[in-house]
Structure 1
Amino acid sequence: MNSEFTIAVHSLVFLAHLPDHMASSELIATNVSTNPARIRKIMGCLRKKGFVKTKEGVGGGYILDCNPEEVTLAQIYRTVSSKMLKPHWCTGNPEETCPISSNTQEVMDQIFHEAEIYFEKYLDQITIYAVLQKIKQCP
């Protein structure tokens, strides 16, 4: 899995913590501990799906455009990093006569696909608001 999912969740939780306030990419980046360009890229994806609104210029930035009690982590995962459990590297060689080498990748693809389904079902149970509440409970 790539870090875009975690950055997107962190950013949305941060915005949920600041209801009705604009946050610049620089402010979000400082909170997330990454660079503003990376935040702008991820927030662009979230904006296209209606999770945030943007305002350009002085005093501009990002503001939550969704109900954090209704938005699930699965929705965010599908927006920024779906199908990322499977590694990019492939094992084995389907052209080989050895059944292990020729079939392992197909079986692993199936396993990763099933894991993705279970992972998304788990993430469907957690909202942005729930993450914010858990964070607030931390010492």
Structure 2
Amino acid sequence: MNSEFTIAVHSLVYLASRPDRMATSDAIARNVNTHPSRIRKVMSLLRKQGYIATKEGIGGGYLLECLPENATLADIYRATSIGSIKPNWCSGDKQGNCSIASQMAAVMDEIFSDTEKKMLQHLEEMTVRDVLERVRIAHR
């Protein structure tokens, strides 16, 4: 899994904690503890999916555009990271000289695909609002 998903969830939860207030990429980056350029990259993906709105220039930044209770973590994963659970690897024997090696890549692809489907089912049950509530409870 790549870090874009975690950055996206963190950023959306941060914006949800500040309803009706803009946040700059610098402010979000400080909160997420990453570089503002990474924030801008992830926020671009989220904007294309309608999760956030942007305002450029002085006083600009990012504003939550969706209802936190409607934004599932599965949707955010699909927007930022679908397919990333499968590692980049090269395994197998394409010539078919070994019965194990010639089938390993296909079998592992199926395993990773099944794993991602099950993970998405789990993430479908959680929203940005749920994560914000968990953070608030943990902070008490």
Shorter-chain TM range is over 0.9
Aligned to 1:5: 5
1:16 matched to 2:16? The reply is: yes
1:45-64 alignment to 2 at 5 Å? 45-64=45-64
Q: With structure 1 as the length reference, what TM-score do the two structures score? A: 0.98
Q: CA deviation at 1:90?
A: 2.1
Aligned to 1:42: 42
| Identity within the alignment, % | 52
5+ residue gaps, structure 1:
none
Q: CA deviation at 1:110?
A: 0.6
Q: CA deviation at 1:92?
A: 1.7
Aligned to 2:130: 130
SS in 2 for 1:99: coil
5+ residue gaps, structure 2:
none
Aligned to 1:83: 83
Q: With structure 2 as the length reference, what TM-score do the two structures score? A: 0.97
Aligned equivalents of 2:75, 2:88: Cα separation in 1: 23
Aligned to 1:121: 121
Deviations 1:52-108 (A, max 9, x none): 000001110000000001110000000011011100112122223111111111100
Aligned equivalents of 2:74, 2:11: Cα separation in 1: 15
Aligned to 2:72: 72
Deviations 1:33-65 (A, max 9, x none): 001111001000100110000000111000000
RMSD: 0.8
